[in-house]
Amino acid sequence: MKKRLLKLPKKKSFFLFGARNTGKSTLIKASFSASSRLYIDLLDLEEERKYLRDPQLLKAVVLGLPKKIQYIIIDEVQKIPNLLNVVHALIEETQKCFILTGSSARKLKYGNANLLAGRAILRNLFPFSFLELGSDFNLKEALNFGLLPGIYKLKTSENKADFLRAYSHTYLKEEIWAEHFIRKLEPFQYFLEVAAQTNGHIINISNIARDIGVDDKTVSEYFSILEDTLLGFHLHAFRHSFRKRLSQKPKFYLFDVGVARALNRASLLPISEGTYEYGKHFEHFIILECMKLADYFYPDYRFSYLRTHNDVEVDLVVERPGKPLLMIEIKSANEIHEQQLKHLHLVEKDLRTKTECVCFSNVPHTLKFKHITVYPWKEGIRKYFL
């Protein structure tokens, strides 16, 4: 097993959320010995039926455990939200730690589920980081197939492409359709294709609604479903009272480059360095790396993008408590010239706040242009997010 960067609490109950196949179960089993844990897998139909029929059964099971069993792991807890009421009571009554994993927060969020009122902390697990893969990391492979752990068990490009197609189909059936989050499958399938095609672009709800034949409210709900099932996230526009009018519409990113490509039909063809597709997926990859590492190590960081009315854009803006505003430009080229970064100077001047401007790219060595530093992307990410 690859060593993960996320450190799990050992003396406090916690939720661990993450999309399917990010390695939640593997990490939990590696972190808590079999001799000290009770593992309840709600993906097992018999287990699910048993606790769905009688959630209070959990109390009897836990109270009957020997003292050496300190950890109660409930995998995919969102399948039976009522179990959380029992968990709440058991946290109060016993010395056991509860580990509650899930690949969807939607039932918990909208079903008035008991989120344990601070008695369990929240942790998120993402696909691999390049740091976790070490010498096994290959940028070209990451941009083509993403960083889901299941990809790294496969040898051929054909098998990896098949895995991603099957993964996308599984999410449609198990996380969306089977959980009754949508009434009709066909328009949602069309929506997923459009969402993949517009990945990383500013969202235009009305245009998407027109393309797939539904109303604006339905499209907004579809995006909400993707976010709640941990398939993607909104990157909101940076808000600041400087004189140029800023875009107020968010962008939307899928949680993995490979999944984004799989959802976009015929997009698993190999991409070549120097092309538009390469640059687009490189930007997506870098944003995902920054955000997952910040979630692990700097959870108070806040991310956004910046775009003015005359299309001056900064790919990533990071608000860091107690530190200067960090503006990151992302470029896939291995040669960067000062002229390509002049917009950072203009935005920095307009913001009139203490700002650090950097560029993450494929340059072989660090470059310095006045107030802007261009980093090889690995070096830059390590410096600011590790």
List of domains in the chain: 14-124 (3.40.50.300), 130-230+253-273 (no CATH), 287-385 (3.40.1350.10)
- Residue from 228, 232, 230 nearest 201 by CA: 232
pLDDT along the chain (386 residues), means of 10: 93 93 94 96 94 96 96 93 92 94 77 66 95 96 96 92 88 72 82 91 93 93 90 89 62 95 79 92 98 97 88 92 96 94 83 90 95 96 97
- Residue 7, helix vs strand vs coil: coil
CA distance 318 to 102: 28
Q: Give me the residue label for tokens 């059936």.
A: 173
Residue 96: DSSP 8-state? -
The Cα diameter of the chain in Å comes to: 69
Amino acid 181: pLDDT: 74
| Residues sharing a CB contact under 8 Å with residue 360, sequence separation 6 or more, in sequence order | 286, 328, 329, 330, 331, 375, 377, 380, 381
- Residue from 78, 3, 86 nearest 43 by CA: 78
First-last CA distance in the chain:
21
CA distance 297 to 7: 10
Work out the angle at residue 257's Cα, subtended by the Cα atoms of residues 254 and 263, and round it to the nearest 5 degrees: 65
CA distance 181 to 49: 20
Amino acid 312: pLDDT: 82
Question: Residue 353 has which token pair?
Answer: 């706040």
Amino acid 279: pLDDT: 96
CA distance 323 to 234: 24
pTM of the prediction? 0.93
Work out the angle at residue 314's Cα, subtended by the Cα atoms of residues 131 and 332, and round it to the nearest 5 degrees: 50
Amino acid 115: pLDDT: 64
Cα–Cα distances (Å) from 47 to 31, 41, 61, 324, in that order, read 23, 7, 13, 50
